[in-house]
């Protein structure tokens, strides 16, 4: 059987909430792939998920990497860099959930390992694979709105990190939540690079956790090299549902994407109008999560450059790092002020 007709044997590292979702998508929704193995250091975690889906299980990610064609990393963000490096050094293409790294230095180490090994690295920015965001992007690329001038991205989570504050790392709202917005804004802005960031953030939902580093509300202003100005906002307390939207205003028009309605049905009753809404990222972006992994599998089979590269992920991370510095210093921060920021790194297509 030819390589293009043989299912890609994927190994998944991290059997938590997102890892479980990805594993089920691989096993049940992507015919070109097979979930071969699951690894998780937590005793029993990999075994439970692997037994459900007919895969092998191990507590050792290094063992898994040796036995598969490509690796899907869905472990804790703190482990992403080292796992990407390990997979690359073993010669395995890598799909890594966002963020690829938590610092620019770690991002460069990951990119260096991937570049030296000559393997593909795709990062999990799922909004690029959502039908409405993709349609908006294609319209912008075709010149439909003219020159992008004002942009907006919103992420409001109905529970988010506040539900388990003990599991939250400092600056999660920038590096693990708004990083989606930073990526999609850059993507919708024709991959223009950011030049300056101003951010403000606070603990308005759970003030008692502020001392532990949990900021639950933030607004970020980003200026891009092409002159476009963008805002990104996030909250961990949207009582009405999981709300993700994007908007680009240009010289010839405006395009928007994102809709938290579960379906088109609306109920008109004695209390007025009501409509059900989605309540989680998995519910809103279910098809996009599948599409991004299907795209990764195609890249592995056809040896193509992924649609979302490590360089793209580094650009989004640079905005997050600048936002953190802006909050700490209470001023706008230019990207060139960041330690380790080099335009050359951002132009790599790894």
Question: Using an 8 Å Cβ cutoff, are 257 and 243 in contact?
Answer: no
Q: Torsion over CA of 42, 114, 317 and 228, rounded to 10 degrees? A: -150
For the segment 45-58, the average pLDDT, to the nearest whole number, is 98
Q: What is the pLDDT of residues 215-225, one digit of tens each?
A: 999 999 999 99
Q: What is the pLDDT of residues 298-349, one digit of tens each?
A: 999 999 999 999 999 999 999 999 999 999 999 999 999 998 887 544 444 4
Q: What is the pLDDT of residues 282-303, one digit of tens each?
A: 999 999 999 999 999 999 999 9
Domain CATH number, residue 217: 3.30.360.10
Looking at the domain assignment, is residue 69 inside a domain?
A: yes
For the segment 192-218, the average pLDDT, to the nearest whole number, is 93
Q: Which residues pair with 247 in a beta bridge?
A: 152, 256
pLDDT at 11 over 90: yes
What is the share, in percent, of the chain residues with pLDDT greater than 90? 89
pLDDT for 330 equals 98
pLDDT for 348 equals 44
Question: Using an 8 Å Cβ cutoff, are 113 and 313 in contact?
Answer: no
pLDDT for 20 equals 98
Alpha carbon distance 215, 197 (integer Å): 18
Is residue 314 within a helix (H) or strand (E), and if so which, with residue range? helix 310-329
Q: Looking at the structure, tell me whether residues 335 and 275 fall in a common domain.
A: yes
Q: Is the dihedral of CA 117, 118, 123, 126 positive or negative?
A: negative
Domain CATH number, residue 9: 3.40.50.720
Q: How confident is the model at residue 161 (pLDDT cuts 50, 70, 90)?
A: low
H helices present in 174-309, as ranges: 178-188, 281-284, 286-302
Q: How many residues does the chain have?
A: 350
Q: Which residues have CB under 8 Å from 272's CB, separation 6+? A: none
Give helix then strand counts, H and E, for the chain: 12, 15
Task: Please give the C-alpha separations between residue 247 and each of 182, 200, 256, 270, in angstroms, as whole numbers.
Answer: 13, 21, 4, 34
pLDDT for 247 equals 98
Q: Looking at the structure, tell me whether residues 60 and 110 fall in a common domain.
A: yes
Closest C-alpha among 119, 11, 115 to residue 65:
11
pLDDT for 343 equals 52
Average pLDDT, the chain: 94
Question: Using an 8 Å Cβ cutoff, are 97 and 124 in contact?
Answer: yes
Range of the domain at 232: 130-280+309-347
Residue indicated by tokens 């988010």: 160
Looking at the domain assignment, is residue 17 inside a domain?
A: yes
Q: What are all long-range contacts of 269-277, with beta carbons under 8 Å and residues at least 24 apart? A: 277/240, 277/241, 277/242, 277/243
Q: Looking at the structure, tell me whether residues 100 and 232 fall in a common domain.
A: no
Burial of 29 (0-12, 13-18, 19+ CB in 10 A): middle
pLDDT for 211 equals 85
Looking at the domain assignment, is residue 286 inside a domain?
A: no
Q: Looking at the structure, tell me whether residues 199 and 59 fall in a common domain.
A: no
Q: Looking at the structure, tell me whether residues 55 and 20 fall in a common domain.
A: yes
In the chain, the number of structural domains is 2
Looking at the domain assignment, is residue 101 inside a domain?
A: yes
Q: How confident is the model at residue 350 (pLDDT cuts 50, 70, 90)?
A: very low
Question: Using an 8 Å Cβ cutoff, are 103 and 33 in contact?
Answer: no
Peptide bond into 145 cis (omega under 30): no
Kindly list the strands in the beta sheet with 94-97, ordered across the sheet, starting from the edge strand earlier in the chain: 56-58, 33-39, 8-13, 70-73, 94-97, 121-124
Say how many C-beta atoms besides its own lie within 10 A of residue 27's C-beta: 19
Question: Using an 8 Å Cβ cutoff, are 121 and 198 in contact?
Answer: no
Q: How far is C-alpha 260 from the geometric centre of its chain's CA atoms?
A: 18
pLDDT at 165 over 90: no
Q: What is the pLDDT of residues 248-276, one digit of tens each?
A: 999 999 999 999 999 999 999 999 999 99
Q: Looking at the structure, tell me whether residues 181 and 326 fall in a common domain.
A: yes
Quote the Cα angle for 137-139-144, to 5°: 135
What is the share, in percent, of the chain residues with pLDDT greater than 70? 94
For the segment 88-109, the average pLDDT, to the nearest whole number, is 97
For the segment 181-198, the average pLDDT, to the nearest whole number, is 97
Looking at the domain assignment, is residue 285 inside a domain?
A: no
Q: Looking at the structure, tell me whether residues 206 and 264 fall in a common domain.
A: yes
pLDDT for 13 equals 98
For the segment 118-138, the average pLDDT, to the nearest whole number, is 98
């Amino acid at each position: 059987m030819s390589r293009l007709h043989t299912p890609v044997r994927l190994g998944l590292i991290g059997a938590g909430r997102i890892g479980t979702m990805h594993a089920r998508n691989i096993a049940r929704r992507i015919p070109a792939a097979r979930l071969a193995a699951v690894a998780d250091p937590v005793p029993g975690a990999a075994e439970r998920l692997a037994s459900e889906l007919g895969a092998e299980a191990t507590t050792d990610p290094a063992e898994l990497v040796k036995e598969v064609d490509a690796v899907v990393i869905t472990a804790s963000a703190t482990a992403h860099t080292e796992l990407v490096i390990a997979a690359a050094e073993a010669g395995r293409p890598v799909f890594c959930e966002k963020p690829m790294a938590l610092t620019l230095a770690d991002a460069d180490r990951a990119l260096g390992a991937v570049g030296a090994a000559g393997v593909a690295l795709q990062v999990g920015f799922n909004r690029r694979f959502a039908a409405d965001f993709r349609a908006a992007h294609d319209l912008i690329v075709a010149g439909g709105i003219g020159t992008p001038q004002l942009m907006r991205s919103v992420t409001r989570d109905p529970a988010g990190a506040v539900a388990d504050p003990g599991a939250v790392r400092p600056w999660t709202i920038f590096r693990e939540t708004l990083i989606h917005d930073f990526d999609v804004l850059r993507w919708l802005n024709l991959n223009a690079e950011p030049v300056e960031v101003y951010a403000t953030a606070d603990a308005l939902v759970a003030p008692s956790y502020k001392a532990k580093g949990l900021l639950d509300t933030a607004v970020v202003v980003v200026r891009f090299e092409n002159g476009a100005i963008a805002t990104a906002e996030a909250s961990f307390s949207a009582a009405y549902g999981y709300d993700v939207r994007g908007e680009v205003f240009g010289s010839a028009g405006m395009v928007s994407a994102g809709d938290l309605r579960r379906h088109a049905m609306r109920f008109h009753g004695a209390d007025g109008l009501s409509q059900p809404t989605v309540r989680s990222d998995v519910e809103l972006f279910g098809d996009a999560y599948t599409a991004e992994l299907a795209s990764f599998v195609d890249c592995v089979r056809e040896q193509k450059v992924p649609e979302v590269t490590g360089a793209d992920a580094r650009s989004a991370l640079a905005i997050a790092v600048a936002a953190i510095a802006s909050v700490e210093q209470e001023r706008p921060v230019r990207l060139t002020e960041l330690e380790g920021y080099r335009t050359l790194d951002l132009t790599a297509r790894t």
